[in-house]
Structure 1
């Protein structure tokens, strides 16, 4: 992924641009206005039926930005059991309503909030949620972190099945599900899975990480695995439905994510300046019509590549502003030394040069991580050989001076190019 959490990762997927271009880099940030029309739905055009749904409110803000380019935009609570979204009655100002809710009523990621109004909101919603709870989810219904939206996984996937069955070809359907995001609350069938004596291999704590206690991380990982198993079961039901209805035989089905998790690196959550592989190395699975056998692809890729790939499959011209490349095997182009970037700049202004950010350059087997502007890490670097050290435990920045120098120069040049439009003369 080009980013390590929802905002930059999703914006890159839907625009084919890196975060330093689309500028959706802050929590609940928006795509730069000049780039709003440069999105997947606009490019597919009205000749296709365009359907979009996101349970994730930080991704929903982009669908609101693209409202004019989507034929059917399902609200986030479409398949929920209990929800209280302040924007549901403010259709013309849904992003402003969400921002007020996000910034003022609830405390999220150490942000301040209204003590009285925030508490009143939680009490009011708790009464509604009590009616929806059931014994089938022993830890409570799955839901959004700190947001009043709760659901049953089976109901969400049933809703997606219904929407897929109602599609009229040609179509583009985008479903952004919250699961398996925290809180990890699986169905009772999976609530006791993986209860064993598994322990993490200790890894050095990074000064910019959370330093969550190891015992807490072990419990968190088990719950994460349980929830993933539950989601995997529901996704299997979805695939069976697509196959039984013939949809799978005539559609490209793509499964991916906007980011990962980094529990094994001592980080609870993913809103972090760290960019190790577990948080940016995301899954990408593609089912193609008529494809009967599996093919594994190992060429370098990043989620900005999905937009040009989908355009090519649909027979639509790829615009020159797109930074991505068509994925193999849909392209004969093979460049194992291609440079790809990921970044985090959530505490940097979206309207200025990136001075406080973490930027990754991946090139061949090597990965360079650059930290800029953090206390104690005003300018620091780590270099890893991902092929021989996939756990990123041996920093080679001193042992490989030539490779380090080349990659550092390329990264700084790319960052300078991205910053140039925002530098004051």
Structure 2
């Protein structure tokens, strides 16, 4: 074979022993990849994790990376051995063994470097530039081709030689860090989640039966992700996208002005479990959990002590008790199965519920998220049935159950089922995941395209309603619906206006905050509608009230029992907030906050002091700022909000002293 042909120079490579392959892989992932993975969200970690917590996460990450590297090294050695036994030249077998380890490691490092650089570019330019799924897929295959081609040529590729030398020089450091990590994890092992807890594994005091049966046989809390009341239109008598839920609401109480406490899943669902507003529970960022004093007791702990078997089924990791730190209150808590490839490592890493690993270590396999976009095509990776079916089986097997069930659609991608696809937007526009924008800022010229996204979103709402109707019918057939307290709501809505598609970020408009809230009492047959503003913070106190459980230690909500039993509900202010950029270790000087009092709504940007006032009765779309025209109303609501912020900041200092 002529000099320079593929694999010809493989004899220049070091012999690929298990130790060498492992050391080089560890160098790439531990010393090169891990810092960039951490850097991607360093502000969040510093703002919401103590040094000890972050150190524990890093140690566990290093040990898991070591396991991945060992697996790669074993595969590389095994491949080389098989090739030699098959008569392949030793040099060729050596190159194949090295390629097995180096290609995925270098690919992950370069991908992470590119992603971190792209995030820095967006931050430094102040724009929301993003690559389309096609662009991400093209970048993925370009990396594969380039790295594969370089390593195919052996040491002739300058990048391959530089990479080998770099990893060789870093190997001692990587192995030393691994040794420290192993000692750290052995000295203080991470808590490993048990998917289910039986009575035999719970403390003796928890296994004793309550002195009396619970006052309500079953309590079902059903949350449908990203369900805006302005689109669903559940309450009232006009057109609706959710006829099944409206039919259910005719024998329940429908709250037409129910507000989420935040604009994305983590803070709002922690409020559901604690009754505390985000500025008190502090689970306000994707890597943040509820403050430890609010993790136990949570709603599930209280209900279990009252005699209920507590179960949770969630299609969204951010809505899972594993993420909130409240998982110990559940006898059985699961994350729904999914066809999403990218979700698999994240779900696996939730088995370490005290860590933040699902939100950064899973970027070891970043290409899986891109592959999902193409492999699923027009099919949602989290259909509601994958949550409802196991939940129904668990409910049937238990008496006196508290079940929290969280489904994902209509959350993006807006891929409605075949039964509702095309009902509002005929044709193939936006019918595939790869065609959709995802959450992003948009210009006025894109409003027509965003409106098409809204139609697919509304079709997804229709599909979610069909699935909910089937689930409620199955509960009825099982004899578990009529005598149950049933609450159906959502964590937040979705924006298709104001230059933003999606949720999270700083947006606190009503299309993101106002959600359906339907509550059916045991045996209720008469429907009611309540137009007084209420909060998701009211859900937990209402459940403990009807469930005969002790109150939660820190609740900002109130029981809605008077309204549910037909009495007037006194009006009081409702609060919502976006605090992703506010550190729990610093004074409350950042974030955006809203107070809704009657028909008036004030939104305050804490960092700049800018405020906006809207009269929702006259301007439901929040397009006219009245703060200058109505200074007395602005001043009154500003003072009300500032007083609450001062109290919240004092509570923060007690929870997180520095």
TM-score range, shorter chain: 0.7 to 0.9
Aligned mates of 1:93, 1:19 — CA distance in 2: 24
* Matched residue, 1:142: 380
Partner of 1:243: 476
Residues 1:91 and 1:299: Cα distance change in structure 2 (over 3 Å): closer
Match in the other structure for 2:421: 191
Q: Distance in 1 between matches of 2:554 and 2:384?
A: 38
Residue 371 of structure 1 aligns with which residue? 605
Match of 1:257 among 481, 485, 490: 490
Equivalent position of 1:71 in the other structure = 331
Structure 1 residue matching 2:613: 3-state secondary structure = strand
What runs of 5+ residues in structure 2 fail to find an aligned partner? 1-259, 428-439
Q: Residue in 2 aligned with 1:227?
A: 460
1:251 shift after superposition: 0.7
Q: What value does the CA root-mean-square deviation take over the aligned residues?
A: 2.6
Alpha-carbon distance, 1:13 to partner: 1.2
Shift of 1:62: 4.5
Q: CA deviation at 1:190?
A: 1.6
1:163 counterpart (379, 382, 394): 394
TM-score, structure 2 as length reference: 0.54
1:385-400 equivalences under 5 Å are: 385-400=615-630
Give the match for residue 56 of structure 1: 316
Three-state SS of the structure 1 residue aligned to 2:425 is: coil
Q: Is 1:30 aligned with 2:264? A: no
Instruction: Give the match for residue 93 of structure 1.
Output: 352
Secondary structure, in 3 states, of the residue corresponding to 2:635?
helix
Kindly indicate whether residue 450 of structure 2 is the aligned counterpart of residue 217 of structure 1: yes
Q: Tell me by how many angstroms 1:103 deviates.
A: 2.3
- Aligned equivalents of 1:226 and 1:41: distance in 2? 33
Match of 1:317 in 2: 550
Deviation at 1:386, TM superposition (A): 1.5
Q: Counterpart in 1 of 2:570?
A: 335
SS of 1:379's equivalent in the other structure is: coil
Contact 2:492 2:513 in 1 (8 A): yes
Distance 2:569 2:531 in 1: 10
Pairwise CA distance, 1:7: 1.2
The separation in 1 between residues aligned to 2:556 and 2:489, in whole angstroms, is 19
Shift of 1:226: 1.1
* Equivalent position of 1:136 in the other structure: none
Match of residue 287, structure 1, among 500, 507, 520: 520
1:63 Cα offset (Å):
5.6
Instruction: Give the conservation status (yes or no) of the 8 Å contact 1:366–1:385.
Output: yes
Q: Which has the larger radius of gyration?
A: 2
More deviation in 225-234 or 54-63? 54-63
User: How far apart, in 2, do the equivalents of 1:352 and 1:362 lie?
Assistant: 26
Kept after mapping to 2: 8 A contact 1:30/1:61: no
CA distance in 2, matches of 1:91, 1:228: 28
> Does the C-alpha gap of structure 1 residues 333 and 38 become closer, same or farther in structure 2, counting only changes over 3 Å?
farther
Task: Please say if 1:40 is aligned against 2:299.
Answer: yes
**Distance change in 2, residues 1:387/1:179 (3 Å):** same
Shift of the 105–317 alpha-carbon distance from structure 1 to 2, 3 Å rule, reads closer
Change over 3 Å in CA distance of 1:353–1:180 after alignment to 2: same
Secondary structure, counterpart of 1:296 in structure 2? strand
Indicate the residue corresponding to 1:202 in structure 2: none
Looking at structure 1, the residues matched to 644 and 474 of structure 2 have their Cα atoms a distance apart, in angstroms, of 45
* Kept in 1: contact 2:294–2:554 (CA 8 A): no
Distance 2:405 2:504 in 1: 22
| Equivalence for 2:582 | 348
Alpha-carbon shift at residue 314 of structure 1 (Å): 1.1
CA distance in 2, matches of 1:379, 1:64: 31
- The structure-2 alpha-carbon separation of the partners of 1:216 and 1:104, relative to structure 1 and needing over 3 Å to count, comes to farther
How far did 1:162 drift?
2.5
Partners of 2:606 and 2:302 lie apart in 1 by: 35
Number of matched residues?
Answer: 378
Structure 1 residues not aligned, in runs of 5+:
107-113, 134-138, 144-150, 198-208
Q: Distance in 1 between matches of 2:333 and 2:590?
A: 35
Q: Is the 8 A contact 1:142 1:153 kept in 2?
A: no
- Taking structure 1 as the reference length, the TM-score comes to 0.82
